[in-house]
C-alpha cells in the first residue's frame, strides 16, 4: 500500500474514489509559493528558538528553494495520493534533503499552515485588485477631464431627467471604485494576520515565536486565539464580498456601455479591440465584453453565497469542509482581476459622441425643472410652478416641440410672469452651469471633484 505522511495508524489504503474525492493538489498548488515562504519562515524561527539547529534550518531552506525551482521549471511531479500542496512539497523536500525534512513540521499542523498560505494569497490578491482599481479610476478620471463640457441626459427610471456633464457621470463611477479601493484595503488589513503557531487548534508545546514569523512574511499581526486562527474563514468571505461589490459596480457601468452603444442612443462607439462581430450579420459590432462582465458578476456572487453556506454552522475548530474555500476564491480572484483591468482599458479606449449626447438633450423635456425654478424666482410657490410647467410640457409634447421652441406668447399662456429671459434659463448648458453645489454637476464643482479624486489617488499611492 501507498504510504501516507499520516499513514501510521492505517492498515488499508485509501479507496481510489475517496482519493479522487479528497484531493486538492490539483488546485491548491496555486499556493505553492506561499506554502514555501511560510515553511522557510517556520524553519528559521524553529532554529532561532533552539528547536532546530542553524544547520538543519539552512538545509530545509535550501531544500525548499530547490522545490520552488522545480515547480517553476515544471519538473516537479505532483502526486494526487499526497492530497494537497502542503504534503506534496514536504514529501519532495524530504526526498531532496533526507531525514531533516521530517523535522520541518515540528510545532505545526496543516491547519495553521493552510490558513497561513491562504491568508498570504488573499492579501496578495487584494493588492492586485487595489492596483487594478486605481488604474480604472485613472482611466475614468482622464475621460472625465476630457469631457467636462460634454453634456448628456441624466436619467432616473431610465427616463430623461436633467442634463449633466459626462464628466460628472463618470466621476460617479470614480467614487464607487474609490470606495472599493478602501474596502479592499480594510479587508487586507484584517486578512494580514499570521495563524502560524496555532498548530492543530490548541497551540503547541514548543517555544515558538509567531511574531517573528509574521514579520518575516510581511503580515501585520498574529492570531489572538489558536482555535479562531485555524477555523475562521471570514477573511475569505470578506474578500469574496468585496469582489462581489466590485463586480456589482462594474456591471452597472457595463450596462451603460451596452445601452450607450445601441444606435438608438449612439453615445459611444466601441473600440474594435473591445467588441465582437456576428457570424451571420455582417453589420454587427456587439458589446460582448461588457455583457460577459455583467454575466460573470453572477458567478462571483455565487462564490460568495456558496462559501457563506459552507461556513454556516461549522463547529470549532478546523473542518475539512473548509477546503472548499479555495476554488471559489481563485475563481473570484481571476474574474475580478481581469474584469477590473479590462474595464480600465476599455474606458480608456471608449469614443464618446458629444453630438449624439447633445441631440438627446432635446428629447424628454430635460429643462422642465429649470422652468419651474424660474417661476419660483418670479414669486410662484414651487408646487404651483411645478403644475404650470407640467401644463407647458403637455402643450409642447402635443405640438411636437421642445419648451425652448415655444414662443414667448405661447409660454405666457401658462403664466403671465414668463419673460424674455426665460430662454436663457431653458438652455441646457445653463441648467448644468447653475448646479454648483458641492458634488453637483456644475463645471466648478466637477473640476473640484476631479482634483479631489486625483489628490486621493496621489495620497493613497504613498501607502
Query: Given the rule CB under 6 A, which residues bind ligand ARG?
Result: 24, 28, 84, 110-111, 114, 318, 320, 322-323
Instruction: Identify whether the C-beta of residue 375 lies closer than 8 Å to the C-beta of residue 389.
Output: yes
Nearer to ligand ARG (CB atom), residue 313 or residue 379: 313
Nearer to ligand ARG (CB atom), residue 270 or residue 322: 322
Instruction: Identify whether the C-beta of residue 242 lies closer than 8 Å to the C-beta of residue 180.
Output: yes
Report how far apart, in Å, the C-alpha atoms of 350 and of each of 178, 267, 273, 347, 356 are. Answer: 21, 10, 10, 5, 15
Distance CA 233, CA 322 (A): 8
- Dmax (CA) for the chain in angstroms is 101
Nearer to ligand ARG (CB atom), residue 110 or residue 294: 110
Q: What are phi and psi of 421, to 5 degrees?
A: -65, -5
Instruction: Identify whether the C-beta of residue 357 lies closer than 8 Å to the C-beta of residue 432.
Output: no
Q: Which of 283, 296, 286, 292 is nearest to 261 (CA)?
A: 286
Which three-class secondary structure state does DSSP give residue 117?
helix
Distance CA 318, CA 52 (A): 27
Nearer to ligand ARG (CB atom), residue 32 or residue 318: 318
Q: Which of 213, 135, 218 is nearest to 177 (CA)?
A: 135
Nearer to ligand ARG (CB atom), residue 171 or residue 230: 230
Minimum distance of ligand ARG from residue 263's CB (angstroms) = 51
Q: Which of 401, 461, 447, 445 is nearest to 426 (CA)?
A: 401
Minimum distance of ligand ARG from residue 321's CB (angstroms) = 9
Minimum distance of ligand ARG from residue 32's CB (angstroms) = 13
Minimum distance of ligand ARG from residue 236's CB (angstroms) = 11
Minimum distance of ligand ARG from residue 117's CB (angstroms) = 9
Instruction: Identify whether the C-beta of residue 258 lies closer than 8 Å to the C-beta of residue 287.
Output: yes
Minimum distance of ligand ARG from residue 188's CB (angstroms) = 21
Active site residue 109: no
Nearer to ligand ARG (CB atom), residue 1 or residue 320: 320
Instruction: Identify whether the C-beta of residue 14 lies closer than 8 Å to the C-beta of residue 83.
Output: no
Instruction: Identify whether the C-beta of residue 301 lies closer than 8 Å to the C-beta of residue 94.
Output: no
Classify residue 162 as left (phi > 0), alpha (psi -120 to 50) or beta: beta
Active site residue 13: no
Minimum distance of ligand ARG from residue 282's CB (angstroms) = 51
Report how far apart, in Å, the C-alpha atoms of 282 and of each of 93, 286, 439 are. Answer: 58, 11, 44
Nearer to ligand ARG (CB atom), residue 23 or residue 68: 23
Q: Cell numbers 461556513 label which residue?
A: 311
Which of these is catalytic: 109, 249, 278, 415? 278
Which of these is catalytic: 99, 157, 279, 407? 157
Minimum distance of ligand ARG from residue 428's CB (angstroms) = 59
Instruction: Identify whether the C-beta of residue 392 lies closer than 8 Å to the C-beta of residue 406.
Output: yes
Give me the half-sphere count of Cα atoms (radius 13 Å) on the Cβ side of residue 418.
24
Nearer to ligand ARG (CB atom), residue 108 or residue 296: 108
Minimum distance of ligand ARG from residue 72's CB (angstroms) = 22
Q: What are phi and psi of 264, to 5 degrees?
A: -60, -30
Q: Which of 26, 209, 186, 35 is nearest to 119 (CA)?
A: 35
Distance CA 221, CA 136 (A): 30
Q: What are phi and psi of 112, to 5 degrees?
A: -80, -25
Nearer to ligand ARG (CB atom), residue 231 or residue 389: 231
Residues marked active site are found at: 157, 278
Amino acid at each position: 500500500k501507498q504510504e501516507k505522511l499520516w499513514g501510521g495508524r492505517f492498515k488499508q489504503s485509501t479507496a481510489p474514489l475517496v482519493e479522487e474525492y479528497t484531493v486538492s493538489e490539483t488546485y491548491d498548488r496555486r499556493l505553492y509559493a506561499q506554502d514555501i515562504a511560510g515553511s522557510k519562515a517556520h524553519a528559521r524561527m524553529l532554529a532561532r528558538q533552539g528547536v532546530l539547529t542553524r544547520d538543519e534550518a539552512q538545509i530545509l531552506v535550501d531544500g525548499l528553494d530547490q522545490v520552488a525551482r522545480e515547480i517553476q521549471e515544471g519538473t516537479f511531479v505532483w502526486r494526487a495520493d499526497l492530497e494537497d500542496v502542503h504534503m506534496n512539497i514536504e514529501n519532495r523536500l524530504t526526498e531532496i534533503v533526507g531525514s531533516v525534512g521530517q523535522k520541518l513540521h515540528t510545532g505545526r499542523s496543516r491547519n495553521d499552515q493552510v490558513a497561513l498560505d491562504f491568508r498570504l494569497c488573499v492579501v496578495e490578491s487584494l493588492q492586485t485588485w487595489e492596483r487594478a482599481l486605481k488604474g480604472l479610476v485613472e482611466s475614468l478620471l482622464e475621460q472625465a477631464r476630457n469631457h467636462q463640457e460634454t453634456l448628456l441626459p441624466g436619467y432616473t427610471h431610465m427616463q430623461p431627467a436633467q442634463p449633466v456633464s459626462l464628466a460628472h457621470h463618470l466621476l460617479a463611477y470614480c467614487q464607487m471604485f474609490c470606495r472599493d479601493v478602501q474596502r479592499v484595503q480594510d479587508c487586507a488589513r484584517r486578512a494580514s494576520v499570521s495563524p502560524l503557531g496555532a498548530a492543530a487548534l490548541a497551540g503547541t508545546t514548543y517555544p515558538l515565536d509567531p511574531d517573528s514569523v509574521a514579520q518575516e512574511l510581511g503580515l501585520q499581526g498574529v492570531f489572538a486565539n489558536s482555535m479562531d486562527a485555524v477555523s475562521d474563514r471570514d477573511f475569505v468571505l470578506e474578500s469574496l464580498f468585496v469582489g462581489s461589490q466590485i463586480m456589482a459596480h462594474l456591471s452597472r457601468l457595463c450596462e451603460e456601455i451596452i445601452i450607450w452603444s445601441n444606435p438608438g442612443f449612439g453615445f459611444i462607439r466601441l473600440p474594435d479591440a473591445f467588441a465582437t462581430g456576428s457570424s451571420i450579420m455582417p453589420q454587427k459590432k456587439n458589446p460582448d465584453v461588457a455583457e460577459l462582465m455583467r454575466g460573470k458578476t453572477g458567478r462571483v456572487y455565487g462564490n460568495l453565497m456558496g462559501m457563506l453556506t459552507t461556513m454556516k454552522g461549522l463547529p470549532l475548530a478546523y473542518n475539512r469542509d473548509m477546503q472548499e474555500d479555495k476554488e471559489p476564491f481563485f475563481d473570484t480572484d481571476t474574474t475580478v482581476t481581469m474584469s477590473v483591468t479590462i474595464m480600465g482599458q476599455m474606458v480608456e479606449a471608449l469614443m464618446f459622441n458629444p453630438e449624439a449626447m447633445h441631440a438627446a438633450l432635446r428629447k424628454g423635456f430635460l429643462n422642465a425643472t429649470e422652468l419651474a425654478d424660474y417661476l419660483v424666482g418670479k414669486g410662484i410657490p414651487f408646487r404651483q410652478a411645478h403644475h404650470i410647467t407640467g401644463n407647458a410640457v403637455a402643450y409642447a409634447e402635443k405640438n411636437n416641440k421642445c419648451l425652448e421652441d415655444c414662443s414667448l406668447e405661447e409660454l405666457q399662456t401658462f403664466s403671465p410672469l414668463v419673460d424674455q429671459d426665460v430662454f436663457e434659463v431653458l438652455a441646457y448648458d445653463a441648467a448644468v452651469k447653475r448646479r454648483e453645489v458641492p458634488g453637483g454637476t456644475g463645471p466648478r464643482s466637477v473640476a473640484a471633484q476631479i482634483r479631489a479624486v486625483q489628490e486621493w489617488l496621489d495620497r493613497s499611492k504613498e501607502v
